[in-house]
Structure 1
């Protein structure tokens, strides 16, 4: 008997920094650029923010930043910041 499995491995985030490896940019009303990240299987807000901040970011930096990402994307994510669905497109919060 052959076990069913994935035909291809799920995509995983492999790079760090503001590029994140799989990001898009979308023009904002002010003419600046807003970064957007497509959620991949297994992503968490912590992981996305850590990659966005880059390898020099401390755990404290990430802990302070991920709630801002959640608030900026709450309408899409819903009531639990622990539940991200592959394919969701998260926008980076406005620079304060």
Structure 2
């Protein structure tokens, strides 16, 4: 079957439907959870992240970043601006 064979007028062939509804959750292209409401208790830092960006994405409010910092002080250290790619942070419930 060729790439455009499903366009032929055979009637019985249809394009394949997607396996899952992307709005139902899962991960995006970068492996981030695409449904923040279904987020577990951890988050892996990716390039370009900051605690305020993570707070905005997961809590809807960037000003909640100190909650994430307090829960992860042992991992992050004394400077909340120095998070590293690959760190697994605990996201406390609010």
Is contact 1:49–1:62 with CA below 8 Å preserved after alignment? Answer: yes
- Return closer, same or farther for 1:12/1:41 CA change in 2, 3 Å cut-off: farther
Which sections of structure 1, spanning at least 5 residues, go unmatched? 1-10, 26-34
Alignment root-mean-square deviation, CA = 2.3
Q: Cα offset for 1:92?
A: 1.0
Higher helix proportion: 2
Which sections of structure 2, spanning at least 5 residues, go unmatched? 1-29
In 1, Cα distance between the equivalents of 2:62 and 2:80? 14
User: Relative contact order, CA 8 A, sep 6+: which one is greater?
Assistant: 1
Give the alignment's TM-score, normalised by structure 2: 0.57
In 2, Cα distance between the equivalents of 1:13 and 1:46? 16
Alignment: residue pair count: 65
Rg larger in 1 or in 2?
Answer: 2
